[in-house]
Amino acid sequence: MPIPKDYEERVYAGVLGKIVGVYLGRPFEGWTHERILDQLGEIGYYVHDKLGKPLIVADDDISGTFTFIRALEDYGITRDLTAEQIGQTWLNYIVEEKTVLWWGGMGNSTEHTAYLRLKRGIKAPKSGSMESNTREVAEQIGAQIFIDGWAMVAPGEPDLAAELARKAGSVSHDGEAIYGAQVVAAMESAAFVERDLNKLLDIGTSFIPHDSTIYRLIADLREWAETDKDWKRTFRRIQGKYGYDKFGGNCHMVPNHAAIILALLYGEDDFGKSLRIANTAGWDTDCNSGNVGCLMGIKNGLAAIDAGPDWRGPVADELFIISADGERSVTNAAQVSYYLSSMGRKLLGAEASPSPKGSAKYHFELPGSVQGFRGYEGAEVRNVTGHSSSGNRSLAVVLKNISSGRVGRIFTKTFGSRSDLKIEGYQPLMTPRLYSGQTVRASLIADKTLPREVSARLVAQAYPESGPDLSLLYGPEVGLSAGLSKTLSWTVPSTGGLPIAAIGVEFSSEGLTSGTVHLDYLTWGGEPEVDFRVFRQEARTSPVLSWLNASDYCYIDRYEDSSGLRVIQNEGTGLQITGTREWKDYTFGAMVSPHMARRTGLAVRVQGMKRYYALSLVEGGIIRLSKELDGEKTLAEKEFKWEPNDLYRFSLATEGNRLIASIDGKTIFDLSDTDRPLASGGIGLLVTEGRSHFRDVGVHGRRA
């Protein structure tokens, strides 16, 4: 079946529906229907403020959905993707007990149980089977929670979506959990080309056994809805036959699947009403609401989301995807949508869609998308048609009464805020998206009605060495007159290695001015130039700013003339990671002092916990250059007598497929990797079972 003409926009609506649904249901997750009605009433809009909670949070329902789908990227975009490969993706991107597994334990959390199986060498699908984990554990809700991405890469092909859902779900689940996931995935896939709910239900149930509980549940709900004509009456029937008390475990698939079908049957094809029912029903509200929102977004598009209250404004496209690839932790719905739709086109053998505005990171080509940009002081933002030199849309920056003393600023996050980092429970591990040495470019077009020239300059917010306020870093100023366009370019100066929290544009004027300037695009490129001169702790959940903590412990050490990190790993290999998947050719260096460790050193082109190159001191007096990719492969090694607590100057450089490793200024290895080479990625400090110290850390590369 051909790709729908509005494919990208419908995927965007699905992603928005997912995150809106999760944000709506997250604050009262786990509440009963009766408690919700008593304390909140029916859920017609966001209620986070009533409960003193943030709206936009790191959430495993979002992170798992948009992390596990990356198996397609890492193993080739193919219909033949295996459950075993998706299981390897879990091992690569999950940081145990910190990301998707932020709560759990063997036999308690289905996902954590499956992860422990994978970690111990039990491959998927056995890792998620009833045989391995018991029926009760295997039939919890997670397979359904994480399924939306697989549907969105298979538009109009529900058989493919159901098969991918089966493979992905089987990493951690079995039985009824798989069936529920297949129903949702098939319905979402078919929703790209089919609007009738009854036909979607017929399609979804065609992929599961007719004697399964999920099949009987859907049949019961369809029958009850015909006679009851009242969702609360039908919900009481659900409580009586399919309620939580009828199934074991923390969060069983069956009751929550019933809440989804209930919301769809009684939602009258309305986005807001469907979410209201899914959330007011209770149980695992963020999961159920997220699946309902995604399906309704795909089926009815952006217009359906925009028809009711303002769901999109407070969210501003923002979401977090928390994994071992920390650069993708801070992102937005438009970027996720183009990522999914690009893979979907390749998977279905369709013609690739050109990347908007030369692959600019912020392009605003999707209707209503602001990509995380918000206005401050004398500025407001909105997405509009036109005012673009290479696209169809732009971000209108409405300036109100700015002057030399009252500026207008717009920002989008490139790293978490202090409040993002301090959320309780789920650990928001992340690394910056933008680094010193990279060059930011932005195109501005002044509206023809702008009454007076305004000055514009790129501006970044960075964490300071001390104090509560973020520092402002400025690019050069340019003047903008009515109807004219200017391109801003700025190489970000050093921050001492502290993270850049946001990037944006500042506007001012010599006289009091109001008017509109359009941001056509904003992007950046080039390799980093960073000396990690300053290490800072910001919160318990993020021990060292700029670095993703994928080790057991990480402390800041202070030396007379420098500062460094003490990294400790109890079992297996731990990493401290920073950088992005876009980095290609650079040199990573540090002073390394092993204390008591089986292995320690530096990693480059890091793409998670199981994808990187490493230069390591290994117990027994060995220096080794290796590749971690579905297991460790030694590329080269030789004898090297090293002593605990001595300092060694490590350097590991990448040039295409070439790796150049040196110790104390002497080249040890110089070779090329041509067998499934890792083409790009960040950097890491590595320790296997022990403790090491790292200081004078820096990364330097070629500028774009």
Tens-place pLDDT, residues 299-332? 999 999 999 999 999 999 999 999 999 989 999 9
Q: What is the CATH number of the domain that holds 614?
A: 2.60.120.560
Q: Are 366 and 422 members of one domain? A: yes
* pLDDT confidence of residue 48: 96
**Is residue 226 very low, low, confident or very high in pLDDT (cuts 50, 70, 90)?**
very high
Nearest C-alpha neighbor of 45 from the set 355, 340, 366, 308: 308
How far apart CA 177 and CA 244 sit, in angstroms, is 15
What phi, psi does 596 have (nearest 5°)?
-140, 100
Which structural domain range is residue 103 located in? 7-320
Distances (CA, A) of 243 to 109, 259, 261, 425: 20, 10, 14, 27
* pLDDT confidence of residue 161: 98
User: Where on the phi/psi map is residue 23: left (φ > 0), alpha (ψ -120 to 50), or beta?
Assistant: alpha
**Is residue 704 very low, low, confident or very high in pLDDT (cuts 50, 70, 90)?**
very low
**How much is the pTM?**
0.96
Number of domains in the chain: 3
Q: Are 510 and 601 members of one domain? A: no
* pLDDT confidence of residue 703: 39
Q: Are 394 and 245 members of one domain? A: no
334 domain-assigned: no
608 domain-assigned: yes
Looking at 301, 320, 339, the residue that finishes a domain is 320
Q: Are 122 and 218 members of one domain? A: yes
Q: Are 571 and 689 members of one domain? A: yes
Looking at 259, 294, 320, the residue that finishes a domain is 320
Quick one: 381 exposed, middle or buried, by C-beta within 10 A (0-12, 13-18, 19+)?
buried
How far apart CA 136 and CA 249 sit, in angstroms, is 6
CB 85 within 8 A of CB 610: no
* pLDDT confidence of residue 540: 56
Q: Are 490 and 631 members of one domain? A: no
Mean pLDDT of 206-231: 98
SS3 labels along 514-576: EEEEEEEEEEEECCCEEECCCCCCCECCECCCCCEEECCEEEEEECCCCEEEEEEEEEEEEEE
Nearest C-alpha neighbor of 289 from the set 267, 259, 316: 259
Distances (CA, A) of 324 to 98, 435, 549, 685: 10, 18, 9, 13
* pLDDT confidence of residue 660: 98
Q: Are 623 and 688 members of one domain? A: yes
Instruction: Give, as one character, the DSSP assignment of residue 505.
Output: E
Number of continuous H segments (helices) and E segments (strands) in the chain: 21, 25
Q: Are 604 and 490 members of one domain? A: no
**Is residue 543 very low, low, confident or very high in pLDDT (cuts 50, 70, 90)?**
low
Q: Are 478 and 588 members of one domain? A: no
The H-or-E segment that residue 158 falls in is helix 158-169
What phi, psi does 634 have (nearest 5°)?
-80, 120
Q: Are 297 and 149 members of one domain? A: yes
**Per DSSP, what are the bridge partners of residue 682?**
606
Q: What is the CATH number of the domain that holds 467?
A: 2.60.120.260
pLDDT tens digit sequence for 380-420: 999 999 999 999 999 999 999 999 889 999 999 999 998 88
* pLDDT confidence of residue 99: 81
Q: What is the CATH number of the domain that holds 60?
A: 1.10.4080.10
344 domain-assigned: no
CB 603 within 8 A of CB 627: no
Looking at 320, 349, 376, the residue that finishes a domain is 320
Q: Are 505 and 557 members of one domain? A: no
How far apart CA 57 and CA 37 sit, in angstroms, is 24
Q: Are 81 and 167 members of one domain? A: yes
* pLDDT confidence of residue 585: 96
- Is pLDDT of 75 > 60? yes
* pLDDT confidence of residue 538: 74
For tokens 């798992």, the residue is 64
541 domain-assigned: no
540 domain-assigned: no
CB 356 within 8 A of CB 365: yes
Mean per-residue pLDDT over the chain, rounded: 95
pLDDT tens digit sequence for 639-674: 999 999 999 999 999 999 999 999 999 999 999 999
